[in-house]
Amino acid sequence: MQSSSTATASPKNVIVCGAGVIGVCTAYFLAQKGAHVTVVEKSAPACAASGKAGGFLALDWCDSGPLSALARRSFHLHGHLADLLSGPTAYGFRPLEALSLTVREADAPKRGPNLPAWVDGSATFAASIGTTQTTAQLHPYLFTRKILDTAVEKYGVTVVKGEVKEVRLSEGNVASGVVVDDGEVLLGDCVVLAMGPWSAKSPVISELCRISGVKVHSIVLRPQVPEAIGPQALFLNYETAEGVSMDPEVYPRPTGDVYICGPSEEVEVPDDPQQILPCKESIITLQKVAQTVSSHLGSAELKAEQACFLPTSEDGIPLIGKIPDMVGVYVATGHGCWGILNAPATGESLAELIIDGKAKNVELKPFDPARFTKASKKISDC
């Protein structure tokens, strides 16, 4: 049975560009509200950051800034989606604790107080920074695929493989579709640009705001005794033997794998997501982190070495909303290091804005792309 909002909403023919977690969640909520949705992806769904992220979620870690309401709503939606989509095993959703630790490679291994048994290296407990009420995790690749599969199977979303080259506008700057690959036109009365760091390549976005990408490395390990690893995410204040400081993160997954991310670099985003290759030095650094934190991780099999880009806007705040001076063209990008957390509320809010004219659960004003127009910039400079 249709909900009342579905029954009264005017149907839209929406083209969502990009099948990362943001595009996929937007497609899911739009289709749930009755829109006819086509997702266009140039490589493969979740091939970039959305498949290679940590998948850590926090209720209140964004509370001090404009992301607070978005993050809180999203944390709630993640719990709801995990219940709905065939239980937690579908994509490794589970609440877990988060600990802040200080680690110095120069220190001898010791079993410090308040540390989980598997953290038997050179770590010192600093603080408990998340409980099973406030922090959780999921596998980002499996989550993104599950949302997309559900959108296709339950709500009739269509997925097209192709590279969006251009947004088609008719008279009055009204969206009429997108141009894909070598000129094929996909018709639609609404276009959502959700291409992560590649959003910057669309003139519609680049003329408004610079979206940059920071390349971050990660590894996935398979410990010899996976059951020995407990459900604690570790946030490290880490010093190498050479005195270099960094902040790697360690996420044990319910499957028994352990994900570790850390070293980053500012480099150009390659055109093809499949060409994002890790640098060996960063991978070796992450293996050293693993070995310093836990003997279980030091002896683990290296299952994956990878890198991906964080999409970041000029002011560090996502762009979620309508492109100024155009009708039916929207953007959702720039989610930085919290895109997996904030994807459901981004998708829900954008779907409400597009179909109902206003987001119900989250005030989208802080994310309005119009803040980057010349007129808005002048006012904020005064």
- Least separation, in Å, of the C-beta of 273 and ligand FAD? 4
Nearer to ligand FAD, 9 or 81 (CB): 81
320 φ, ψ (degrees, to nearest 5): -135, 110
Nearer to ligand FAD, 120 or 309 (CB): 309
> What is the CA 200 to chain-centroid distance, rounded?
17
Residues that bind ligand FAD (CB under 6 A): 17-23, 40-43, 47-50, 53-56, 163-164, 194-198, 216, 218, 261, 273, 308, 310-311, 333, 335-341
Nearer to ligand FAD, 43 or 124 (CB): 43
- Least separation, in Å, of the C-beta of 328 and ligand FAD? 18
Nearer to ligand FAD, 19 or 351 (CB): 19
Is there a contact between 52 and 61 (Cβ–Cβ < 8 Å)?
no
- Least separation, in Å, of the C-beta of 39 and ligand FAD? 9
- Least separation, in Å, of the C-beta of 346 and ligand FAD? 9
Nearer to ligand FAD, 265 or 301 (CB): 265
- Least separation, in Å, of the C-beta of 144 and ligand FAD? 8
How many other C-beta atoms can be found within 10 angstroms of the C-beta atom of residue 80?
A: 11
Alpha-carbon distance 251 to 77, whole Å?
21
What radius of gyration, in Å, describes the C-alpha atoms of the chain? 21
Query: Tokens 């003997």, residue?
Result: 295
- Least separation, in Å, of the C-beta of 74 and ligand FAD? 9
Nearer to ligand FAD, 21 or 103 (CB): 21
Nearer to ligand FAD, 28 or 198 (CB): 198
How many other C-beta atoms can be found within 10 angstroms of the C-beta atom of residue 76?
A: 14
Nearer to ligand FAD, 17 or 175 (CB): 17
- Least separation, in Å, of the C-beta of 56 and ligand FAD? 3
Going across the sheet that includes 164-170, the strands are: 164-170, 174-180, 184-187
- What is the secondary structure of 244-307 as a DSSP string? -EE--EEEE-TTS-EEEEEEEE--PPPSSGGG----HHHHHHHHHHHHHH-HHHHTSEEEEEEE
Alpha-carbon distance 298 to 6, whole Å?
53
- Least separation, in Å, of the C-beta of 3 and ligand FAD? 26
> What is the CA 242 to chain-centroid distance, rounded?
33
Nearer to ligand FAD, 198 or 372 (CB): 198
Is there a contact between 214 and 261 (Cβ–Cβ < 8 Å)?
no
241-255 burial, b for 16+ CB within 10 Å, e for fewer?
A: eeeeebebbbbbbbe
- Least separation, in Å, of the C-beta of 92 and ligand FAD? 12
**140-155 and 21-32 helices, crossing angle to 10°:** 30
Cβ neighbors of 87 (< 8 A, separation 6 or more) are none
Quick one: tokens of 292?
A: 């310093």
**339-356 and 21-32 helices, crossing angle to 10°:** 40
Nearer to ligand FAD, 122 or 253 (CB): 253
Alpha-carbon distance 7 to 4, whole Å?
5
- Least separation, in Å, of the C-beta of 203 and ligand FAD? 12
